């Protein structure tokens, strides 16, 4: 009689192994395909603009703070290194676009120098970030 009870318990059990496999595969899929928010490394107060348009596919973010310091990938970069840093990032994604987040109190000279370095690095799509009013 005890053998009958044990046999019934074993046949009624659900095998969870295939379900766990599917869950782990879905987890890996979502981790790999997730789009992460990129940040240049510092917060800037962007100027307001009435003609601001949403820019998708911005792969290279460059920030210029109010002391005219340039930040790329959470690292402060000298103006002489900007072109090299952009070329390194373009090697990872050749169709990458550059978005410059300049603080509203930053110098326009620094902004134009960074834009010039991005053009020299071979970037065809350079934009300046602004707050939409």
Provide mean pLDDT across the span 7-32: 81
Domain contains 39: no
pLDDT in tens, 83-112: 998 898 888 877 778 888 888 888 889 988
pLDDT above 80: residue 16: yes
Q: Are 61 and 122 within one domain?
A: yes
Count up the domains in the chain and report the number.
2
Which one, of 86, 115, 89, 101, lies nearest residue 43 by Cα?
101
Q: Which domain holds residue 109?
A: 48-132
Query: Beta strand 58-64 with 48-49: parallel, antiparallel or unpaired?
Result: unpaired
Q: State the Cα–Cα distance between residues 44 and 96, nearest whole angstrom.
A: 22
pLDDT in tens, 52-75: 566 666 678 888 888 888 988 888
Asked if 114 contacts 79 with a C-beta cutoff of 8 angstroms, the reply is yes
For residue 95, the model assigns a pLDDT of: 79
Q: pTM for the full model?
A: 0.61
């Amino acid at each position: 009689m005890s053998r009958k009870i044990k046999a019934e318990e074993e046949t009624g059990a659900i095998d969870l192994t295939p379900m766990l496999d599917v869950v782990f595969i879905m987890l890996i899929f979502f981790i790999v395909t997730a789009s992460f928010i990129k940040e240049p490394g510092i917060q800037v107060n962007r100027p307001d603009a009435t003609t601001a348009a949403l820019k998708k596919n911005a792969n290279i973010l460059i920030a210029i703070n109010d002391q005219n310091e340039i930040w790329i990938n959470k690292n402060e970069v000298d103006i002489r290194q900007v072109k090299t840093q952009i070329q390194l990032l373009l090697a990872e994604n050749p169709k990458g676009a550059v978005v410059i987040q300049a603080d509203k109190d930053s110098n326009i000279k620094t902004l134009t120098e960074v834009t010039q370095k991005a053009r020299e690095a071979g970037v065809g799509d350079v934009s300046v970030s602004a707050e939409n009013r």
